[in-house]
Structure 1
């Protein structure tokens, strides 16, 4: 696709001068433009970039009633030479279509996705700030827009991309609860998809954890609550002695881009990585005998977030302070690749030009 195929309507004025980039709340500030494309009459058409603005939709739009909505999360980075990069965007493209398929949403064309993304970022490139931890968070999403209250897949959809400047996601120490009652997802469900409803279902149990002084929940399997699977909206890693352990992908667990990148970086560094089911009992025993060195979450927004302690079945466990932590090591390695400060042996960087 050539740029002429995307209709671009530039904003008359920019909001950028009203933004304090040193005090950003995650996901609260958005750039001047957005990309949109509509599915109608059996095809995606009319890709365009327009000024960021509210949408007008029918109250009967099916997204409001039957939840056909999927999304992605990715970032753009600016290096010291003012060049712009994405990180493994092919993974995000593949995953949004995998999510869409699970919710009976038509696949979005690859050329529309990458050209729309590229042109949108170039138009709002001044919003991508230099500096360690600074980035431009990218939110592609698809919603069912057809006005019809009928419990079946919609025939009309809107694909959009919006952009939000970001700094580091978490700064405080995080303590978590191991889930004993509530579940994030179940066998045969949509847990592996980035479906909007997956996240809404987490809010209530997470709010209960907040009331008890915990920032997040580590979700357990829905059937027995005996195996640890994900941390809030992130994949989860456990370091037992010098071994790194993480749960395998399945239809309950999101196939995280950061997760698979950490696994590869750990293997590159000669770390023993085990991808297997992780029993709650094993991690509690490792905490008691001192072999549990670290727990950390991995995801696009936070990159890697260390966990300081956890509670399960009324017992609390504190983790040691590690000077040579895997969390710090692999976060630095990952970000060095993202910010073009290190070699990229796996060709994960995608230059925008």
Structure 2
């Protein structure tokens, strides 16, 4: 018996309109016909699972999520491959959502319900998975569902999954981006919520991201809150530095988000014989290593962008180029390998791919690691 009741959208997008929307979808601007919803309460646990028409959610203005920020989310993609849909390490997304929930004093679905919601929605809206280089971006999230104005954890929650067909996150695809180093704003501090994927972290980064755009940059880079010295991460991505001796350096976990793509990059680089070090790397080191030639590549990674090179770095008192400003060989190698694994074009020795058999009805759970 499925946890989710299927309530079909009575006015789905037609084939011709959907085909037009799938040609060049702007990231996160087009949504599929359905969403998955599941509710939790102290009295009933998880209940009322539905695959239903995507529609606005109606809430009382005193809902706890509006006032106290109890909200967490994930990001993942489904790729079309040989009649199936491939997910990339969805169990890790389920586990990270659970860690975020713990930090935010919330409740989230167990792994089996998380996966069932994803599988059911992908099966129902499989026609929305783009061909070619596109993918179906999945956004699972949990929000408080209590009506009260007291500062305490909620006693009811909504889990929801929506889906959006997407192309490249950046307009240039894999072209080098320009980043702005914020020396004014910080993203997280020790003991804070930096390692949780919660909306408040992103809200706090928006002013710095706006500053970056004003400076003609694509993304903002944050330094640590304590000293304003150590590189942490971007507004929505982790960062790596490639040195001329072959070492790959990335900031350590603690106050930054433990990216699923970040972890995969570390694994793939070590598999290729690279020395990967998770250690503090300062902004001053970044500048001096770029000037001396010791730094040969910088790249960023995340679910939305995959892997993208950094070509230029700007800050309040100047700027510098990383190597010659182009995409480095290791960046390109890791990007190609990661995407080939995600899309089923390469072997998957780590068992990262998660396959959903399509076309067998929304209730089917024909899932296997391949």
The normalised TM-score by structure 1 is 0.95
Other-structure match for 1:335: 339
Alignment check: 8 A CA contact 2:34 2:51 kept: yes
SS in structure 2 opposite 1:278?
A: coil
Alignment check: 8 A CA contact 1:87 1:349 kept: yes
Matched, 1:249 2:253: yes
Give how far 1:280 is off. Answer: 1.4
Other-structure match for 2:49: 47
- Structure 1 unpaired stretches of 5+: none
1:9 to 2, 7, 10: 7
Deviations 1:260-302 (A, max 9, x none): 1011111111112111111112111111111211111100000
Number of residues of Structure 1 aligned to a counterpart in Structure 2: 348
- Alpha-carbon distance in structure 2 between the residues aligned to 1:32 and 1:318: 44
Alignment of 1:48-67 (within 5 A): 48-67=50-69
- Alpha-carbon distance in structure 2 between the residues aligned to 1:48 and 1:247: 40
1:77 to 65, 71, 79: 79
Other-structure match for 1:142: 142
Other-structure match for 1:25: 26
Alignment check: 8 A CA contact 1:47 1:112 kept: no
Alignment of 1:189-204 (within 5 A): 189-204=192-207
RMSD across aligned positions (CA): 1.4
1:282 to 272, 281, 285: 285
Alignment check: 8 A CA contact 1:16 1:31 kept: no
Alignment check: 8 A CA contact 1:174 1:308 kept: yes
- Alpha-carbon distance in structure 2 between the residues aligned to 1:299 and 1:63: 26
Alignment check: 8 A CA contact 1:239 1:295 kept: yes
Matched, 1:295 2:298: yes
Single out whichever of 182-191 and 234-243 deviates more from structure 2.
234-243
Give how far 1:16 is off. Answer: 5.1
Alignment check: 8 A CA contact 2:242 2:248 kept: yes
Give how far 1:217 is off. Answer: 1.4
2:240 to 226, 234, 237: 237
Give how far 1:137 is off. Answer: 0.2
The normalised TM-score by structure 2 is 0.91
- Alpha-carbon distance in structure 2 between the residues aligned to 1:271 and 1:52: 45
Deviations 1:293-324 (A, max 9, x none): 11111000000111111124512101214565
Alignment check: 8 A CA contact 2:108 2:159 kept: no
Matched, 1:351 2:355: yes
Other-structure match for 2:368: none
SS in structure 1 opposite 2:225?
A: coil
Change (3 A) 1:16 1:92: farther
- Alpha-carbon distance in structure 2 between the residues aligned to 1:110 and 1:240: 38
Following TM superposition, the consecutive aligned residue runs of length 4 or more in structure 1 with deviations greater than 4 angstroms are 321-324
- Alpha-carbon distance in structure 2 between the residues aligned to 1:331 and 1:65: 40
Single out whichever of 175-184 and 331-340 deviates more from structure 2.
175-184
Alignment check: 8 A CA contact 2:39 2:157 kept: yes
Other-structure match for 1:124: 125
Matched, 1:326 2:322: no
Single out whichever of 100-109 and 61-70 deviates more from structure 2.
100-109
- Alpha-carbon distance in structure 1 between the residues aligned to 2:4 and 2:219: 41
Give how far 1:115 is off. Answer: 1.1
- Alpha-carbon distance in structure 2 between the residues aligned to 1:120 and 1:324: 38
Deviations 1:73-119 (A, max 9, x none): 0000112x222110000100000010011111013122221111111
Alignment check: 8 A CA contact 1:62 1:147 kept: yes
Give how far 1:179 is off. Answer: 2.3
